[in-house]
């Protein structure tokens, strides 16, 4: 009995030690996803701004490869990408980003202005837009 309990404790300890950091807490994955999310939002709402779809898709494939290299499974990546909670978090992060820039996240014109600013700055967000 004592041996079984010791093995169980060791197994639980190993499982806890091997637990991965949620993707949302890994800046080298989450920050680029934020840039993609912002570019998509801008291109969806602004008639005079188009997405660089091929560039964006290639970037997302590279980002997924990086996540897999870090030990995340395709299922974990898909769960993060499709999560309603993560989408809401990204939206809130985008709204805060716009407010930091002195823009109103509720105004489509300000979103389009942000897109123009990001393209002019040649930022990661702007790189996905034209």
Q: Is the pTM of this model over 0.85?
A: no
The DSSP bridge partners found for residue 51 are 129
Under 8 Å between Cβ of 1 and 9 = no
Nearest in space to 16 (alpha carbons), one of 6, 8, 26, 5: 8
Q: Domain residues of the chain, as ranges?
A: 21-127
Q: Is residue 51 helix, strand or coil?
A: strand
C-alpha 26/C-alpha 32 separation (Å) is: 10
pLDDT tens digits in sequence order for the chain, 130 residues long: 444 434 444 444 443 335 789 999 999 999 999 999 999 999 999 999 999 999 999 999 999 999 999 999 999 999 999 999 999 999 999 999 999 999 999 999 999 999 999 999 999 999 999 9
Residue 118, judged by CB atoms within 10 A of its CB (0-12, 13-18, 19+), counts as buried
């Amino acid at each position: 009995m004592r041996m079984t309990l010791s093995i169980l404790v060791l197994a639980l300890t190993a499982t806890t030690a091997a637990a991965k950091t949620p993707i949302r807490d890994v800046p080298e994955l989450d920050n680029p996803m934020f840039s993609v999310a912002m570019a998509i939002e801008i291109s969806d709402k602004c008639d005079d701004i188009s997405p660089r779809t091929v560039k964006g898709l290639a970037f997302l494939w590279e980002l997924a490869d990086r996540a897999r290299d870090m030990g995340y499974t395709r299922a974990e990546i898909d769960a993060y990408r499709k999560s309603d909670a993560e989408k809401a978090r990204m939206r809130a992060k985008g709204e805060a980003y716009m407010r930091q820039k002195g823009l109103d996240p509720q105004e489509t014109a300000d979103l389009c202005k942000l897109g123009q600013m990001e393209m002019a700055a040649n930022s990661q967000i702007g790189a996905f837009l034209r």
